Every structure is written in structure tokens, then in C-alpha cells.
Structure 1
Amino acid sequence: VLAGTALVLARLPLEKISECLSELCAVQVLALKKLLSQEPSNGLSSDPTVPLDRLAVIFRHTNPIVENGQVHPCQKVIQEIWPVLSETLNKHSADNRIVERCCRCLRFAVRCVGKGSAALLQPLMVNVYREHQHSCFLYLGSILVDEYGMEEGCRQGLLDMLQALCIPTFQLLEQPNGLQNHPDTVDDLFRLASRFIQRSPVTLLRSQVMIPILQWAIAATTLDHRDANCSVMKFLRDLIHTGVAND
């Protein structure tokens, strides 16, 4: 029902979309606010995944046609509900399952609104990831690079994000059997690095973080994990292809 409503909503005149989207999201935002005000408990009643999943469905299917120069009608709504999403993520930052659902919701919000979300999302991701190394933040970083990596004004911010995310990532992988114990992190790290090579190769190649990323890629080539190994090999292939293409 939410998906169908969002699809219809996206075909309204642009000036109507923001108001209608705000009303559609309001029920889920209210549910999240109520959960945030409750004392922590182990019961299902404090679990925010249902409203998060519903918001994700709304953002996923709201895809209005926006011409160049027009303000995206969803940007205002997402900015309004951002504090609630941010607070939910901070409250449950140690719970991988809930963080995954938060990131899924944020991913569709980024895809929905485009350029307006990068400045909001990067500090939140970096701060939480510094304390809790959930690999989904690396995946979310790759979405940001995919969306904004070709925008000249966004490249330095994206590189700063990558460097900040790499510090705790490398510390995690440096632990005994770090590569073997954290294949999801390897997978998402090199997906993020590949997106940089695809969208803004010079930005990454000139950075200080490039050498340790390449060293970890070489170390991970023998990792016996299909998804992680595929991401590593794709990064190396994209890197070589970029060098050959620009030779």
C-alpha cells in the first residue's frame, strides 16, 4: 500500500509532493519519536525496524521527475525527519540488525533526494562508525560516492569521509585473522574504493589512503570468501583498467 501510494504521489505536481510526502512519512516519524522517548528494553515494543522499513519503502518508490535547477521536492521532508533518523541510529548504534535497517532507510533517502543529503549523512556515519564498525556504513559510503563522486564540489568531502572510515577499518583488519573474521568489511571497503576509482579516480590516487588500501587489496587476494574476493578483484581490475585507459 505504501509503495503504491508513493508511486502515485511522485506523479503529482512538484509543489504538491513535499506536503503529501510529509503527511505520508508523519505516521512513521511519530512512531520513531515515541520509541525514542521510551526507556531501553529487550521487548519488541522498542524495536524501530517496522517504521524504518516503512520509511524505506516510501523513499524507494518516491521518484518524481525533477528538471535541472529545480529543488527536489523530497529534500525538505528528508531534512525535517533527519534528526529523528539520526537519533534512532545513535540510540541503537551497538545493534547491528537495527543499524542495517537504518542504513537501508538512509540509502533509499539518498537515492531519492540526490545531492541534498551528503552534507547531512557524512558526519553521522563517520561518528557512529568510529565507535561501532558496522560494515553497512562502508556500503552507505559507496552509495554517496556513486551519487556525488563526479561533482567537483563534493569530492574532497567524500575523500575526507573515506579517510575517516578507513582508520577504524584498518584497525579492525589488523587484528589476528582480521581479514578472515570480517569478510563483510572487506567486501564493503573495496566496493567503496571501486566506486572512487569509477567516479573520481584522481581524487583517490592522489590521496594518502591509496597506498594502504592497495596493500590491503593485495593481502586480501587470497581470502577464501566469494563476495569479499569479488570486491577486491573488481577494485584491482578497475584500478588497472583506469591506468590503461588513461595511458
Structure 2
Amino acid sequence: MSHPISTTKRTLSTDPILWLDRLSSVWRILKPWQTQLEFKNNETKNNQQNKECPWLPLCTRVVQCTLVTLQQQQEKQRVIEHCCRTIRFLIRSMGQQSIVFIEPLANQIILVYGRFPHSCLLYLASILVDEYGNLEYVQPGMLSMLENLANRSLLLLSSVPNGFEMNPDTVDDLYRLAVRFVQRSPSAVFSHQIAAHLLQSAINGLNVGQIDANRSLSKFIMEVIDVAAGKRKESSIQVTDVQRVKQLLLSLCPQIMLSAVSAALFHLSNLLGKEMAEIMFALIQLDKQKAEEWLNFTCSQIPHDGGNSATPEQLLHFKTRVLSAVRPYDVILALRDLRKFYA
């Protein structure tokens, strides 16, 4: 006769999630080596700037085991999520000394995501970019990782109707990854054609109603606008790169303005309408003269016959209010008033 308790214990003991969570609980509370008190106290005296992290050998074994689990259990989303969680905490605990793991990690992420596009792998990739993205010698490899992951994700999102709505986690984690790239290595990412593909897809997806997904899309667009407006430190991006980004953005600004207004009027809650207003305000600050042209284009594309829609005069009033806005909240109010005509 079988014993349920024994069976349960046996199952738990062979469940990788149990052991992954135990590992995560250790790395989660372990501060990065460079912030440890012992390191700080002895840094100057013993020149420990490049001293090996004491738990590097242990971490090496953990990463090797976790990557084996990742490969063997790649079709099981829940196991992959816990693998990514363990690696994330481990990387954070070591800081940039974990760079020795970047190549096998990136290769495994690309391999598994190509077969089973679990969005948690995108999130793990964003952690890698956050830790190492500012190091020039790893940027080509990181960019290759982004290209592979982004192309696979964009294919997934475009392969079915309402792909953005159907895959909000993928949208959220993909554009979280894209944002990290813009923040950590803007020159590298904007030198690659994948940046234009990501921006175009973000514009097309602004009407997605899931909060986290929409905010990641909006954040990416806002980061691109900030780069084009020259708000990045000169050390992180060259002037020629800023001009290239601005040229790309200006070519898409009419679409961005139309997508933001349409999303706020017809698809999104007032909460997410705030994100659209911030995008619109940022575009106006970028080039107020051209912003009028973009708004003219937008007003010509949305319904304006007065039949359960705004009249041309009401749209003109809306445009005037938006162009004279001195803060994003002014744009929010203009959008809310315009929305009443389409209720």
C-alpha cells in the first residue's frame, strides 16, 4: 500500500522548483560583494578593487546546474520562471563580477527562447543588460542577443490578431529589455536596425489595455524621445548618434501622435491615457512647430463629422489646447474633454 506522505516527499525532493527556490532565498538576501562591509573596509588597504568575489566558485556551480535545468526543462514555463529567478538574484549578488557567466547565459537564453518563448527569459536578458550594458566589449554580443530575442518576440506578436493583447507579458518584458538597452548602451542599440523595428511595433501597440504592457511600451517611446531631445549624458551617446535617433523619430512622429491620441480616445482607461498625454507633451517639447503638423494629421484621421464624434471646430479647440500646454496634465485634460464627444 502506498503512503501519500512519502509520495509527496519523494515528489518534492525531485522537483527542481523546490531546490531553485532554496537557492534563490540565499542569493536574494546577499548584498553585492562590492557593497559588503568587509570589502569596503579593506578596499584601500589591500587594493581589493579586483579581488575575486568569495562566492564565485559556488556561483559557478549554481549557474552550471541551473543552465542544465533550463535546457532539460525548457518546455515547462513554471520551471523556467524559477530558473530565471535564481539566476537573477545570483547576478545581482555578484554585481559585474558575474560577467564570467554572460556568454553561456546569453547563448542559453537565445536557444531556449527560440523554441519556447517564455517571457521570463526576456526579463532575465534585461538584467544582463542592466548589469553589463555599459561595457563596450560586451555590447556586440548583447546586441546580437537583443536581435534574436526581439525578432522572435515580434514574430509572435504579429502572427495572430490582437497579438499585443494576447501576449501582454511578452510585450512588457520585451520593452523592458529595450528600455534597458536605451538607458545603458544607447549608441549601440541605435546603430542597429532592430531599434527601428522595436519603435514601429511600440507605436502600433499603444492601444494595448494591459497596464504593465502599455507602460513598458510608453516608457520605451519616452526614452527614445529623451535621446532625440539630447537629454542623455554626452559620455553615453555621441552627438552624431543623437542626430540619427532624432531623424528616425521625426519620421515616425505623425504616427506616434495619431496612435497616442487614438489609444487615449478609443481604447485606454483614463489611467493609461495619462501615459499617452506624456508622450504627446514630449513630442511638442521636441519640436513645437512640427507638432502642429502632427496634430493636424491626427485630427484629419480620427472621426470628425459630428455624428457621435467631435466636430472640426471642437478638434481645432483641442489642438490649440494641446499646443499651448505647459505641462502634461494640460494635455490630459484636453484628451478627457475630447473623449466625451466619442462616448
Q: Deviations over 1:154-197 (max 9, x none)?
A: 11111111011112111111122211110000000100000011
User: What letter matches 1:163 in structure 2?
Assistant: E
Q: Tell me if 1:157 matches 2:125.
A: no
Partner of 2:206, secondary structure, is helix
What residue number does 1:147 align with?
Answer: 131
Quote the Cα distance in structure 2 between the aligned partners of 1:51 and 1:90: 16
Off by >3 Å, runs of 4+ in structure 1: 43-46
Q: Tell me if 1:119 matches 2:87.
A: no
User: What letter matches 2:130 in structure 1?
Assistant: D
User: What letter matches 2:53 in structure 1?
Assistant: H
User: What letter matches 1:229 in structure 2?
Assistant: N
Q: Tell me if 1:103 matches 2:103.
A: no
What residue number does 1:29 align with?
Answer: none
User: What letter matches 1:228 in structure 2?
Assistant: A
Quote the Cα distance in structure 1 between the aligned partners of 2:62 and 2:82: 16
Which structure 2 segments of 5+ residues have no match?
1-10, 40-47, 233-241, 243-343
**Any conservation in 2 of the 1:74–1:112 contact (CA below 8 Å)?**
no
Q: Deviations over 1:74-110 (max 9, x none)?
A: 2222212322111111121111111111100010111
Quote the Cα distance in structure 1 between the aligned partners of 2:117 and 2:14: 23
Q: Deviations over 1:94-135 (max 9, x none)?
A: 111111111000101111223232123111111111100000
Which structure 1 segments of 5+ residues have no match?
1-42
Q: TM-score, normalised by structure 1?
A: 0.79
**Any conservation in 2 of the 1:75–1:116 contact (CA below 8 Å)?**
no
How far the C-alpha of 1:44 sits from its partner, in A, is 4.8
Q: Tell me if 1:50 matches 2:35.
A: no
What residue number does 1:88 align with?
Answer: 69
Partner of 1:179, secondary structure, is helix
Quote the Cα distance in structure 2 between the aligned partners of 1:129 and 1:106: 16
Quote the Cα distance in structure 2 between the aligned partners of 1:119 and 1:61: 25
Q: Tell me if 1:214 matches 2:199.
A: yes
Partner of 2:205, secondary structure, is helix
Q: Tell me if 1:77 matches 2:58.
A: yes
What residue number does 2:214 align with?
Answer: 229
After superposition, the CA RMSD in angstroms is 1.5
**Any conservation in 1 of the 2:70–2:80 contact (CA below 8 Å)?**
yes
Count of matched residue pairs: 205
How far the C-alpha of 1:73 sits from its partner, in A, is 1.9
- Structure number with greater CO (CA < 8 Å, separation at least 6) is 1
**Any conservation in 1 of the 2:63–2:87 contact (CA below 8 Å)?**
no
Quote the Cα distance in structure 1 between the aligned partners of 2:20 and 2:51: 28
How far the C-alpha of 1:225 sits from its partner, in A, is 0.9
Quote the Cα distance in structure 2 between the aligned partners of 1:181 and 1:126: 22
Quote the Cα distance in structure 2 between the aligned partners of 1:74 and 1:218: 44
Quote the Cα distance in structure 1 between the aligned partners of 2:107 and 2:164: 26
How far the C-alpha of 1:239 sits from its partner, in A, is 0.9
What residue number does 1:189 align with?
Answer: 174
Quote the Cα distance in structure 2 between the aligned partners of 1:163 and 1:73: 34
What residue number does 2:303 align with?
Answer: none
Quote the Cα distance in structure 2 between the aligned partners of 1:76 and 1:157: 24
Partner of 1:222, secondary structure, is coil
Quote the Cα distance in structure 2 between the aligned partners of 1:194 and 1:82: 26
User: What letter matches 2:28 in structure 1?
Assistant: R
- Between 227-236 and 110-119, the greater mean CA deviation after superposition: 110-119
Partner of 1:221, secondary structure, is coil
